[in-house]
A and B are shown apart, each in its own frame.
Chain A
Amino acid sequence: MTGMFGRLNGHDTADFRKRFQRLFIIVLIAMTILTIRMAYLQVFKGDEYKLRSENNSVRLRKIAPLRGLIMDTNRQVIVDNQAAFDLVYVPSRVVDIQGIIEKVEAFYEKRGLSLNNDSQLTGKTRPFVPVRLEKNITMSKLAFVETHALDLPGVVVEVAPVRKYSGGEMMSHVIGYTGEISKEELEKREDDELGPGDIIGKSGMEKFLDEYLAGKSGAEQVEVNVTGKVVKALGHIAPLAGHNVVLTIDMEIQKAAWEALAGKRGSAVVIDPRDGSILALVSTPSFDPNLFNSGISKRDWDRLSKDPLYPMENRAVSGQYPPGSTYKVVVAATALAEGLITPDTRFFCNGSFELGNRSYRCWQRHGHGWVNLHRALVESCDVYFYNLGKMIGVDKLAEYARSFGFGELSGIDLPREKPGLIPTKAWKLSKRKEPWQVGETIPVSIGQGFNLVTPVQLANAFSVLANGGVLWRPRIIKQIEAVDGRIVKTFPPEKKRVLPLSPEQIEMIRQGLWGVVNEKGGTGGALRRPEADVAGKTGTSQVVGLPQDEAARRKKILTRRFKDHALFACFAPYKHPEIAVAVIVEHAGGGGAVAAPVARRIVDAYFHLKTGRAAAKAPVAQNTANERGGQ
């Protein structure tokens, strides 16, 4: 090499020659050290390390964390964790997996059991990453596999926590469910905290609060022997349990609402009008979230997702229905606030209302005669509100509807909420490319036509009347706590808006609603309790425009699909309301006949529960009891 670098010119490097010679030696020594070390590891100890790696005797295993508990407002646990046993196999140790599966099946068969395996085994597997054969196996299967471990090399039982939803179907729309992270979800995540097979929240609270509930995975490094048994634990990082969540839901009221709606299709929402807390939120038909624990089977999933009644949909926030006569409170509020009527303004109802060459019917074919605001609300006179609607105009009405929270997302912390629809002239022009017809305002003023509301909006709107004009953001999460009880996050009540009505004007409407339940001729008589403390409004929303012709009308009503939705919304006690309730029963008929009895059961249950709890608490906590009742 030196020959090539014969010095032709430049500075004299002779004085450096020695230094470079030393340098060469240092470098050679350094490289020799590395080579010797490499030879030691790869040649001398190579076989030992090869064994450790090829048997994969050292295995890093993720330990799934416990998800946080979910509790109701009284700290009753609704969602818990329980141990589940998964049957897995390690591909590197199984030569003939089909043979092993047949063996397991044969073992099972002897005991009258069968292997539930929905997953595809043909997919790409990694030699040392366990593949699941069967999820959440029963105790008898577990005992069986454990005793035959020697006949089933490579097949191991793994323990993993799964969710236990004690609320079952009753709570599934609020709580949601968990499941294995999907490929799409995995790709969307920025961090590499989660891998295939990890559990995440898929809907409801489980999804919305996943970052709090999830906790952090631990890890375990273990040395395993040829049969896959752990022989030595090398290290352990404990998983971090997720935070616990306290909801505003009261399980007892939830249960009452669920039972009241049993066998029906629809939704019920109970709100505390004093702060917007959701006490109950039910949607039927429902599904059992526990089904998802074992990785829902294809059959169950098909059954749920193809059910024409949509059990997976949370009707309380995603179901949009015409509000029917319950919407009359909005029309009344608008007319009063705009000074278009006084409580004594009267209109004559002869059973129908004429506008141009069209005629709009009142539900009472013979007419209500002369009616003022109070009678119109009590008897739900359509003609009275047709008159108001015509005076107000659709855009003004929409403005007030928004102060009740209609036509926009309520902001409840549940996924897939829908905003409903409050029509305006601008809306029609942009969406339907047609100008608004005056005639269309008429059905809108009795809550038919384009109007759509969700049950949670309806309950919240009645909560506005109940508390004297405050629109709250519905609140379903009370707080999030760490395992040690430290409060991580609170969700204080949030005031969205105040109804632009004087207290006297609100009281006029409230009196009308009281009359609906407690006066002769009122449509909500089903809620008449001895205490005379409920105020509410019935509603019946037409699913399709019914023919005017009586015979055709009868015929159509008989087919269930065209039957009206029944609605009822109310609050109680009248003087100092503690609950606002909205009930919608799909395709059931009239609100007074179908929805009101459901609401009655919920209201009864609430007050029954209240007296029960007060009696139990009285000796110890008289003060708090007084405080609650005295507001």
Chain B
Amino acid sequence: MKFDRQLLINFDWPLLGIVLAICLIGVINIYSTGFSLTSAKVPLYLKQLQWIIIGLFFMLIMLAVDHRILIQYAYIIHGIAILLLIFVPFYGYATHGSQRWLAFGGFSLQPSELVKLTLILSLARYFSDHGTQTLYSIKDLLTPFTILMVPFLFIVRQPDLGTALMLLIIFISMILFVGIRIKDLLIAGSSGLLLAPLAWYFLKDYQKERILTFFDPERDPLGSGYHIIQSMIAIGSGGFCGKGFLKGTQTQLKFLPEQQTDFVFSVFAEEWGFIGGVVLGMLFLSLILWGFKIAQYSRDLPGTLIAYGITIMIFLGVFINIGMVLGILPVVGIPLPFLSYGGSSVVVMMMAVGMLINISMRRFILQP
């Protein structure tokens, strides 16, 4: 590695700094949710910290591998992730009524999280092979569509509506970025809308309920609506300055459901108020804009596409999750990147950041 020194000089410290700051806020926040739990064996915040450290290790691996090698093996990696996904119904265990987890010895993996990343890699591979000089037609997009649909269908079956939706939006974002003919876009869009009622038929009852509740939260104040009402009370009652660390009554009294996962932002906003929310928002905003800069100034097209995909993934996670807890988007069960508790999510996000840094620090390197 003769470029080692130069790589170190070009290492993207600001990006790592922003990510670690967000992670730290996450751990502190999870500490607060677990504060009122007296009987937990290992505190959740320590577990989250442990996941972040494991994530940093994976990030290091990602740094060592040139992204062009990842692109080279993108389809194979995607295939492996899909295989893991297929194994979920056989070896997975169910939480909250759906099977999403694969257990490996001590820790469990959620292959659907990994698939987000491998989908981005595969699409980047396909589009860098085919260039971005001309606009794509529907016919050209059949291969990328297959790359999406195989894991998508398996994830819908689990059922994990949130992640499936995420894959779909990442796919659409990638296509819009590389460019599609307006006519073809309209055809694809309208046929998608026509197929939507069919998709409704395949949704589980609780998923239909969640979508209906979004349009009318008071419809089921103790079921899905309860989540959103309590979340809005939590956030709203935080006020401008917040109630203070460990003082969020909605959180500490467990009025707020799924505090450590999907509604983790409500906990934060209740205790840290509007000011805290804006600070966190600024951190996310700088992370996202930084990511797009990396994409824009990447040395090669695959780098641009990967960095774009990853940043879009982070952006969508942030926007959908916070929009959801603020009551402006339906409750679809998408974790807040870096803040929500969850091993697979944290590790995959750290790997993604590793790729970003990788692309960022190699942009000055001359092609060998």
Contacts and interface: CB of A to CB of B under 8 A. Distances in A.
Contacts of B364: 8-9
B24 interface: no
A235 B221 contact: yes
Given A13-B296, A27-B285, A38-B277, A49 B237 contact: yes
Given A23-B292, A237-B222, A187 B39 contact: yes
A391 to B, nearest CB: 61
Contacts of B278: 35, 38
Contacts of A43: 239-240, 274
B273 interface: yes
Interface string A28-40: 1011011101110
A52 B232 CA distance: 11
A42 B298 contact: no
Interface stretch (B78-86, B202-210, B318-326): B318-326
A126 interface: yes
A24 B239 contact: no
Contacts of A158: none
A15 interface: yes
B367 A58 contact: no
A27 B221 CA distance: 33
B236 A15 contact: no
**Interface of B, helix, strand, loop or mixed by DSSP:** helix
A1 interface: yes
Nearest to B232: A41
Interface string B225-264: 0100110111111111000000001101101000000000
Nearest to A234: B221
A53 to B, nearest CB: 4
Interface string A11-27: 10101110110011001
A59 B87 CA distance: 43
Contacts of A5: 293, 296-297, 363
A47 B241 CA distance: 12
Interface string A46-68: 11111011101010100000000
Nearest to A5: B297
Nearest to A92: B249
A39 B273 CA distance: 10
Interface string A334-371: 00000000000000000000000000000000000000
B281 interface: yes
Contact of B326 (A30, A38, A46, A48): A38
Interface residues of A, number: 53
Nearest to B301: A11
B292 A15 contact: no
B160 to A, nearest CB: 22
B73 interface: no
User: For A13, A38, A54, which residue has the most chain B Cβ atoms within 10 angstroms?
Assistant: A38
A9 B367 contact: yes
B233 A49 contact: yes
A17 B293 CA distance: 10
B299 A20 contact: no
A15 to B, nearest CB: 7
Contacts of B315: 27, 30
Given A46-B237, A50-B239, A34 B253 contact: no
Interface in A165-190: 186-187
Given A13-B297, A33-B328, A47-B239, A19 B233 contact: no
Interface in B288-302: 288-289, 292-293, 295-301
A485 interface: no
B269 interface: yes
Given A41-B235, A42-B239, A219-B222, A128 B249 contact: yes
A30 B132 CA distance: 26
Contact of B236 (A23, A34, A48, A219): A48
Contact of A34 (B232, B326, B363): B326
Contacts of B237: 46, 49-50, 52-54
Interface in A216-245: 219, 221, 234-237
Contacts of A219: 222
Given A9-B367, A49-B237, A41 B326 contact: yes
A42 B281 contact: no
Nearest to A42: B274
A210 to B, nearest CB: 21
B177 interface: yes
A148 B235 CA distance: 37
Contacts of A23: 177, 292
B253 A127 contact: yes
Given A11-B301, A49-B237, A42 B269 contact: yes
Contact of B277 (A42, A60, A187, A221): A42
A46 B297 CA distance: 42
Contact of A58 (B233, B295, B328): B233
Contacts of A38: 235, 269, 274, 277-278, 281, 326
24 contacts: A8-B363, A8-B364, A9-B364, A10-B367, A11-B301, A20-B295, A30-B315, A31-B281, A31-B284, A34-B326, A37-B326, A42-B269, A47-B239, A48-B236, A49-B233, A49-B239, A50-B239, A53-B250, A56-B249, A58-B229, A58-B230, A60-B222, A126-B36, A235-B222
Given A37-B323, A38-B269, A53-B255, 5 more contacts: A1-B289, A35-B277, A46-B237, A48-B236, A58-B229
